Amino acid sequence: MRETELIRKIRDIANQRGHPRWLRVGVGDDCAVMTPRRNRDLVFTSDYSIEGRHFTLTTHSAADIGHKALARSLSDLAAMGADPLFCLVSLAISANQNEAWIESLYKGLTRLGARFGIVLAGGDLAKGERITVDVMCCGDVPRGRALLRSGSQPGDDIFVTGELGAAAHGLVTKRGESWNRQKRPEPRVEVGRKLHRLAHAAIDLSDGLSLDLRRLCEESGVGARLGGELPIAKGATLEQALHGGEDYELLFTAAKRSRVPPQIAGIAVTRIGEVTNEVGKVSFKGRLLEPLGFDHFR
Ligand SMILES: [Mg+2]
């Protein structure tokens, strides 16, 4: 298989659904070219997905890997309240992946992307020791309206979308709906799009509620008191809901007076506590909540 042929195939997959007008040049040239939309700020994020860390070849199909790699970055766009625009995908493969496997990865990725209007606009291909997928996503928000981690205010209510602990539970059981959630997370893009009017601050739950909430509190210079019932996924434990990673739900805070509906874009939204002025202190039902979520460098 020659690289030029492979790139032509990837270009076909990327262009299957046509280009939006603002993307002047997509896959195939040295760079992608886009014209930013008026009165919008661009937001960027990139995420690694690494064999043995985020997926394994025995448990995840190529399409699963493509889906999950993009979902991780889309979840970051959702947390900023952004509309997804385009992604660049840099893929390193080891010696064992054939052309069909590579195509399947891009198809899994673009199938998820099509649901949220994000276009594969370029990237890179290389051989490596292990499979590594680096997905850079660009989105945009109304000017000045990007939803930051730093905007929480004491007295805000704290909300999460969906259910917690499913991905951690799935990692243990390797079957059922929670395993599916672990392999193919659902980025809350549609919820995020509606949050930049409603919320003061948001973060996506990639590394676990306890750790990600701590990060948001640190950026905002606030504390948090969790009291209410957590929306725990079916079969998951309280520990998995508090500390399990990779749920990719959104956590956001909003002023008490703002009317946060029980569902946004069809996804349940649950109030789980409130923001306090005790800087850096996070408690759950009266006890200090240690940030035991997943920390890559601990
Ligand atoms: Mg994030």
* 247/163 Cα distance (integer angstroms): 8
Q: If you measure from the C-alpha of residue 177 to the centroid of ligand 1, how many angstroms do you get, rounded to a whole number?
A: 23
Rounded alpha-carbon distances, angstroms, from residue 189 to 47, 99, 196, 276: 16, 31, 12, 28
Protein residues within 5 Å, CB atom, of ion ligand 1: 76, 204
What is the band of 295 on the pLDDT scale with cuts at 50, 70, 90? Answer: low
Rounded to whole angstroms, the Cα distance separating 144 from 197 reads 12
User: Does the structure show a pLDDT above 80 at 1?
Assistant: no
CA 208 to ligand 1 center in whole angstroms? 11
pLDDT, the chain, mean: 94
φ, ψ of residue 155 to 5 degrees: the values are: 95, -15
pTM: predicted TM-score of the whole model, two decimal places: 0.95
**How far is the centre of ligand 1, averaged over its atoms, from the C-alpha of 74 (Å)?**
9
203 CA distance to ligand 1 middle (Å): 6
In the prediction, which pLDDT does 2 show? 75
> Ligand 1 centroid vs 204 CA: distance in angstroms?
5
pLDDT of residue 229: 84
